[in-house]
Amino acid sequence: MKKWSTVIIGILIFNTVLAEDGYRLWLRYNTIDNVSLLQQYRQQVTSINCPSDDARLVSANQELQTGLSGLLGKKIPLQTAVINGTVMLALPTHLPFIRKQIGDTAMARLGDEGFIIRTIKYEGKNITLITANKQAGLLYGAFHFLRLLQTQQSIRQLSISSTPKIKLRLLNHWDNLNRTVERGYAGNSIWDWQRLPGYIDQRYLDYARANASIGINGTVLTNVNANAVILTADWLQKVAALANAFRPYNLKVYLTARFSAPVEIGNLKTADPLDPAVRKWWKDKTDEIYKYIPDFGGFLVKANSEGQPGPQNYNRTHADGANMLAEAVAPHDGIVMWRAFVYSSETPEDRFKQAYNEFKPLDGQFKKNVLVQVKNGPIDFQPREPFHPLFGAMPQTPLMMEYQLTQEYLGFATHLVYLAPLFKEVLNADTHSKNENSPVAQIVDGTTDEHTLTGMAGVSNIGSDINWTGHPFGQANWYTLGRLAWDNTLTPAQIANEWIRQTFTNKQAFVDTVQQLMLASREIQVNYMTPLGLHHIMGYGHHYGPAPWYNKAPRADWNPVYFHKADSIGIGFNRTATGSNALAQYQPAVRQQFENMGTCPEAFLLWFHHVPWDYKMHSGKTLWETLCDKYYSGVDSVRWMQRSWDHLKNYIDTERFNQIKQLLAIQEQEAVWWRNACLLYFQTFSNKPIPEKYEKPDHTLAYYEELEFPYAPH
Amino acid sequence: MKKWSTVIIGILIFNTVLAEDGYRLWLRYNTIDNVSLLQQYRQQVTSINCPSDDARLVSANQELQTGLSGLLGKKIPLQTAVINGTVMLALPTHLPFIRKQIGDTAMARLGDEGFIIRTIKYEGKNITLITANKQAGLLYGAFHFLRLLQTQQSIRQLSISSTPKIKLRLLNHWDNLNRTVERGYAGNSIWDWQRLPGYIDQRYLDYARANASIGINGTVLTNVNANAVILTADWLQKVAALANAFRPYNLKVYLTARFSAPVEIGNLKTADPLDPAVRKWWKDKTDEIYKYIPDFGGFLVKANSEGQPGPQNYNRTHADGANMLAEAVAPHDGIVMWRAFVYSSETPEDRFKQAYNEFKPLDGQFKKNVLVQVKNGPIDFQPREPFHPLFGAMPQTPLMMEYQLTQEYLGFATHLVYLAPLFKEVLNADTHSKNENSPVAQIVDGTTDEHTLTGMAGVSNIGSDINWTGHPFGQANWYTLGRLAWDNTLTPAQIANEWIRQTFTNKQAFVDTVQQLMLASREIQVNYMTPLGLHHIMGYGHHYGPAPWYNKAPRADWNPVYFHKADSIGIGFNRTATGSNALAQYQPAVRQQFENMGTCPEAFLLWFHHVPWDYKMHSGKTLWETLCDKYYSGVDSVRWMQRSWDHLKNYIDTERFNQIKQLLAIQEQEAVWWRNACLLYFQTFSNKPIPEKYEKPDHTLAYYEELEFPYAPH
């Protein structure tokens, strides 16, 4: 009968399952299709030996049983007997021999979350040992071992030691309590608040699994434009239910704290951070939170930014506000992440400079358990930004990196854009803050200024769509955040390669082509959206599509015209000493690189200079010609992506192939829209023709200016 | 190798797939687990013979290949050769022998959508013939044949003839253009407007498949609280893309028409339906729509109701408004569905009576292609309502039934409530309009007044949740609408039985228990929410939970107190001649049944009478005692449902078992909440004790009155 049922189910799957809906993400565990490799693996992996004295070990063990049985196409049992091919998970506290085997220094190097995977002899048997100092390490080690098989690497003589470079590896959800998601493009929030705490959706567990598999160890559940209601008892019970669901996957829960909560839900007259009643209210509220969630992570705060309340409402500093909360969570080992994304509507100052101006003076004034969370760039998650001048400027303060996974300015969930190159470009940028080699990566991971409290966050691109991120390739950006936060030395190519293999297939031709697409995709988008250092020229409010002409926003620095400053002479924002002098916020070595129009990398040119239309670029072409070349090459490259993708039809499931094919077609249309709208508009200043060789825009500028999108997601 | 891959995939499924996420609805096609029956089926079904000269036939043929191959656990090929066990789909126009074989009368009886399934000899072979007059019939016949196997019925000597009782079998989506869903509890809208028309989500195709499988042939995409933007060119292209995706499944698209559209998007000064410019605008707009969607179904309109614009704004009648649109769509064979759900905030008249008062006088004034769409009851989708007095009162007008699948007043997507008993209760109610036997069913299906244009609609409970309806049992209500619209003689038991078998398992013990649960569930809910004819006593705005005390709404008839009228003497709404006299709207025979407190069925007592607390019920107990008994028995019955469900653990997948177990636990808590809140409140009028034998409410009335749900879905 067993044979039967297997065969029967085997056929059933052809009909109903091989349609890949993307829900499984990179944890697909399909049986290895390379038969000889499958045979090897089956010899090398025969059973699992794992204690279950901790929820995280139960998770690790479940995942190994599911994953290995799927990958090897046969049941891999949990058993106590150690045999050849046993995968053994254990801490030195479980098995004293481990400490001798590995050695104290090697163990010490792992910290609380690192792991070692070694092929060893144990009681005469060839086994794979996965060990760590803490249970979390074993969980991460289990997922790493599975990844080796998923990506079809040799597991013959393993000797792996891996320790996370960053301590806090977090997702930031901009999810509202009514289940909408600010800047969400993949459906609505996966937090079904209405049915919490009573109903635990399977999705919560798979979300936690996915995060654990890439080392993400914390999640901020709520929008930084915060709602105090989340801090009330009824809602804390809902949060606690999620925390309980996540805990077995070593995923901690954090919340955003609305600064005015003491007034809104505490019936106090003020939220002044130096007011004793306010301080007591936060202390009591925090104690209450920890009653519900003993391992609550802490608070993320957006204060005095874009209308959010904050300490400045009471003439206090960001440090005053952050430290008040830090004191409240400190007894529980909680932390505070205070966002540096601030700019005031009052000051006419270049928005680029405001965060630095406000925060640099506060360096040294923050409590030990406070991190200042800084966006990768000085404006707001544009396709390309120079690194934020605060990196390297606050040596006494742990600076947490904030990336944006949701593609607010990068084509929503419609454009294929792999973000690892953007993330790495920033990490690799040298701040010159301490010496010749102080890249942002080492500021963030604490090396440069010897911080042990370190963090990296990604604004989530996750929603209720079945495939989690709307665009199947959006999954790669979620994946990247986790892998890069764990190991900031990984290259975009390495991360793409392993993601593709797990998510689609190990077939080399597919992997090579898709990896090429992914690595090129971000520069391609920069070219058809904002080449040569243009930035913030998208539609107002919803940020959908191009609107470089827009100038009706209630504040100057929400208008594209504020940022590109196109006129009859040229285009670009002069941030040199003759302009806003934002460059003065960088170290001299960085400033020098940017402040000279001739030496400034062309990719950043219009970030820092107002450049004449006739300016000769390195190529010998004028700025205007180069601008045209960039926009047109961006569109051409999208067409190249389409052609490349079309060749891959037979490598993967029809469902995802067609899905991506359709999305690439929309991306091509929108790339043309960006190119035409921007060039036609800038042409009204340059008064120069679009080179003859190029296809003519198929609409007028007026047509593009009149487009409206009242229901675009925002 | 084949054997291998089968076995391998077979095991993979254990790990990743048998977790049933509900996405497949009742179209699961798992291989028949009854081995002897499987052997029989494999002999009786060996191949498919089906022409592909029409998109609907391609769908039928694809579905048969997928379904039969899944159910039989082996590939069932499409082949032209006819052999023993061929399933042959054909129209008489394909194969002339069919007409002789079946006979003209039998064929004529099928109309445009009916089908015949017969086991016959053809060229000496035993085959199953599925035939019809039109392609749609073959599609529905194919799904019916699959259902026979899914529910494990004999297919040995088939002789089935089936014709839909209702012509328009529609879903009404209350989906907004920003992707929220009014009264939606299963996530957000499945219409991803932002990525339409370029991106066709697989979900659209599976939505159409599911509808075709139960005979639903139309869908209104947009909210009755309408937005004129849907009628603009950009959006019509999105609608057309959906129509193209649905067409192969014989699913027509309809839209809601905002009456003021000529002003809002047409730049006219008025929307007066008698104004020539307005009439021309609608005609031109309609012609434009049909350019995009040649088989567009027509318009659904909510006018002069709850603030929606309508003809009365111009002192015209509903008939004037409906006829204007009817004229516009008539040349394209389109129809207009004009909702009778109207009540004016000005008139103090009993809301029960207003639709009748406004519409009855218009009988005979509507164009031929207009249906008046009437909710099942006079108020608004309460757990129990008497049938709407308009049924039987407008013999010259086709009345379309409007049910609500989304559980706005029935526990959202959290409570297990099977709606077929509610739907059938109304269909079976005798209006006495023409003779002794004029049940609502025969008013709606056109028998009584000889209408050929007939319709039944269900307000959708579908959203972006992976399982479509939030609560797995919500799927049964979607299923019921289709099956009942096709055949209004089906019983709730029959529908539940076939749904359970397809959705979960054919194991008899499971089927019997769950069928029992489902059939009891609606009456159980009436008991813990609104027993004895109570109605509209839920929370204000979001309609979540009990709030019989609420009296702060901007209009009287939005307040629970307006409906229950509890006072020191008794409780209930006197709608007899001594009261609002709403009963006068029914035929004498109906009125008599209700107007006498002694003969009025207790289930409707408080709908029509203000009954003293001490009133002796048939049982001999007082009204108050009976009220207590009902509320307490409702809660006890939910606990019985929980116990029954717990026994089913081993019959189905863990995922859905746990999901439903959790939801039943919440349902129990909310049932207790309803019981306690209502009884404690009504007790302040009755001044009588809750009988000693019952568990005491665990909170005070004040506690319940203070509960607030700012973010409950609405």
Q: Which residue of B has its CA nearest to A64?
A: B15
Catalytic residue among B112, B349, B380, B602: B380
Nearest CB among B6, B177, B193 relative to A10 is that of: B6
Catalytic residue among A408, A430, A595, A668: A408
Nearest CB among B15, B73, B185 relative to A70 is that of: B15
Instruction: Report the length, in residues, of chain A.
Output: 714
Element (H, E) at A255: strand A252-256
Burial A303-342 (b: 16+ CB within 10 A, else e): bbbeebbbbbbbebbbbbbbbbbbbbbbebebbbbbbbbb
Q: In chain B, what residues touch A4 (CB-CB under 8 Å)?
A: 35
How many whole angstroms separate alpha carbon A337 and alpha carbon A402? Answer: 10
> B12 and A30: CB-CB below 8 Å?
yes
Residue B418 C-alpha, separation from nearest chain A C-alpha, in angstroms: 20
Q: Is the dihedral of CA B664, B670, B676, B682 positive or negative?
A: negative
Cα–Cα distance list, B622 to A286, B527, B594, B678, B690 (Å):
52, 16, 19, 17, 12
Which of B200, B214, B219, B165 has its CA nearest to residue B63? B214
CB-based contact, A205 to chain B, within 8 Å: no
Nearest CB among B199, B201, B659 relative to A666 is that of: B199
The pLDDT value recorded for residue B452 is 97
Q: At the topology level of CATH, where does B38-162 sit?
A: Chitobiase; domain 2 (3.30.379)
Please report the beta strands in B453-543, taking only residues with DSSP state E, as ranges in sequence order. Answer: 455-459
pLDDT score of A4 more than 70: no
Report whether A146 contacts A67 (CB < 8 A). Answer: yes
Residue A36 C-alpha, separation from nearest chain B C-alpha, in angstroms: 13
- The rounded Cα B324 to chain-centroid distance in angstroms is 28
Fold equal for A38-162 and A168-496 = no
Q: What tens digit of pLDDT does each residue of A493-514 get? A: 999 999 999 999 999 999 999 9
Q: What tens digit of pLDDT does each residue of A69-117 get? A: 999 999 999 999 999 999 999 999 999 999 999 999 999 999 999 999 9
> How many of the other CB atoms lie within 10 Å of CB of B510?
18
The pLDDT value recorded for residue A348 is 82
Average pLDDT over residues B229-240: 98
Residue A98 C-alpha, separation from nearest chain B C-alpha, in angstroms: 31
How many whole angstroms separate alpha carbon A20 and alpha carbon B12? Answer: 14
Q: Which residue of A has its CA nearest to B177?
A: A711
Q: What are the extents of the domains in chain A?
A: 38-162, 168-496, 527-573+610-705
In chain A, what percentage of residues exceed pLDDT 70? Answer: 97
CB-based contact, A187 to chain B, within 8 Å: yes
The pLDDT value recorded for residue A627 is 98
Q: What is the ipTM of this complex?
A: 0.95
Is the link from the previous residue into B197 a cis peptide, with omega within 30 of 0? yes
Residue B254: strand pairing partners: B220, B298
Tokens of B329: 């769509």
Which of A372, A370, A292, A290 has its CA nearest to residue A327? A370
How many whole angstroms separate alpha carbon B511 and alpha carbon B506? Answer: 6
pLDDT score of B2 more than 50: no
Q: Which residue of A has its CA nearest to B667?
A: A198
How many whole angstroms separate alpha carbon A289 and alpha carbon A285? Answer: 6
> How many of the other CB atoms lie within 10 Å of CB of A512?
12
Q: What tens digit of pLDDT does each residue of A316-353 get? A: 999 999 999 999 999 999 999 999 999 876 778 999 99
Does the annotation count A20 as an active-site position? Answer: no
pLDDT score of B7 more than 90: no
pLDDT band, very low/low/confident/very high, at B12 (cuts 50, 70, 90):
very low
Tokens of B588: 């004498």
Does the annotation count B708 as an active-site position? Answer: no
The pLDDT value recorded for residue B450 is 97
Chain A stretch 444-503, residues whose beta carbon is closer than 8 A to a beta carbon of chain B: 464-466
> A200 and B662: CB-CB below 8 Å?
yes
> A29 and B8: CB-CB below 8 Å?
no
> A194 and B15: CB-CB below 8 Å?
no
Cα–Cα distance list, A135 to A5, A63, A112, B696 (Å):
37, 14, 8, 46
> A11 and B31: CB-CB below 8 Å?
yes
Q: In chain B, what residues touch A413 (CB-CB under 8 Å)?
A: 195
CB-based contact, B681 to chain A, within 8 Å: no
Nearest CB among B8, B662, B665 relative to A31 is that of: B8
Catalytic residue among A112, A182, A201, A380: A380
Residue B661 C-alpha, separation from nearest chain A C-alpha, in angstroms: 9
Tokens of B309: 């614009």
Q: What tens digit of pLDDT does each residue of B541-575 get? A: 999 999 999 999 988 899 999 999 999 999 999 99
Q: In chain A, what residues touch B7 (CB-CB under 8 Å)?
A: 6-7, 10, 73
Which of A229, A244, A197 has its CA nearest to residue B669? A197
Report whether B138 contacts B57 (CB < 8 A). Answer: yes
CB-based contact, A74 to chain B, within 8 Å: yes
pLDDT band, very low/low/confident/very high, at B348 (cuts 50, 70, 90):
confident
CB-based contact, A16 to chain B, within 8 Å: yes
Lowest-confidence region among A278-282, B219-223, B303-307: B303-307
pLDDT band, very low/low/confident/very high, at A18 (cuts 50, 70, 90):
low
How many whole angstroms separate alpha carbon B331 and alpha carbon B352? Answer: 37
Nearest CB among B24, B67, B666 relative to A195 is that of: B666
> A21 and B23: CB-CB below 8 Å?
yes
Average pLDDT over residues A622-637: 98
Q: pTM to 2 decimals?
A: 0.96
Residue B292 C-alpha, separation from nearest chain A C-alpha, in angstroms: 20
Measure the CA dihedral A435/A441/A447/A450, to 10°.
100
Catalytic residue among B54, B306, B487, B653: B306
CB-based contact, A403 to chain B, within 8 Å: no
The pLDDT value recorded for residue B512 is 98
Nearest CB among A10, A466, A665 relative to B9 is that of: A10
How many whole angstroms separate alpha carbon B393 and alpha carbon B373? Answer: 13
Q: At the topology level of CATH, where does B168-496 sit?
A: TIM Barrel (3.20.20)
Q: Which long-range contacts (CB under 8 A, 24 or more apart) does A189-194 make?
A: A189/A463, A189/A464, A190/A462, A190/A463, A190/A464, A191/A221, A191/A242, A193/A235, A193/A238, A193/B711, A194/B185, A194/B412, A194/B414, A194/B711, A194/B712, A194/B713
Report whether A358 contacts A285 (CB < 8 A). Answer: no
Reduced 3-state DSSP string for A547-581: CCCCCCCCCHHHCHHHHHCCCCCEECCCCCCCCCC
pLDDT score of B258 more than 70: yes
The pLDDT value recorded for residue A343 is 86
The pLDDT value recorded for residue B18 is 54
Average pLDDT over residues A623-651: 98
Does the annotation count A306 as an active-site position? Answer: yes
Q: Which residue of B has its CA nearest to A197?
A: B666
Chain B stretch 26-65, residues whose beta carbon is closer than 8 A to a beta carbon of chain A: 28-31, 35
Nearest CB among A201, A464, A711 relative to B177 is that of: A711
Q: In the 8-state DSSP scheme, what is residue A78?
A: B
Catalytic residue among A182, A201, A306, A705: A306
pLDDT score of A569 more than 90: yes
CB-based contact, A523 to chain B, within 8 Å: no
- Would you call A23 helix, strand, or coil by DSSP? coil
Q: Helical H runs in B530-653? A: 560-564, 588-595, 605-608, 623-646
CB-based contact, A2 to chain B, within 8 Å: no
Chain B stretch 211-230, residues whose beta carbon is closer than 8 A to a beta carbon of chain A: 229
Q: What is the DSSP string of A616-659?
A: BPTTSSBHHHHHHHHHHHHHHHHHHHHHHHHTTGGGS-HHHHHH
Q: Which residue of B has its CA nearest to A25?
A: B16
Nearest CB among A29, A178, A198 relative to B665 is that of: A198
How many whole angstroms separate alpha carbon B486 and alpha carbon B490? Answer: 9
Report whether B201 contacts B192 (CB < 8 A). Answer: yes
> B19 and A73: CB-CB below 8 Å?
no
How many whole angstroms separate alpha carbon B231 and alpha carbon B261? Answer: 8
How many whole angstroms separate alpha carbon A185 and alpha carbon A373? Answer: 24
Q: Which residue of A has its CA nearest to B14?
A: A70
Span B527-573+610-705 CATH architecture: Alpha-Beta Complex (3.90)
The pLDDT value recorded for residue B336 is 98
Q: What are phi and psi of B448, to 5 degrees?
A: -60, -45
CB-based contact, B156 to chain A, within 8 Å: no
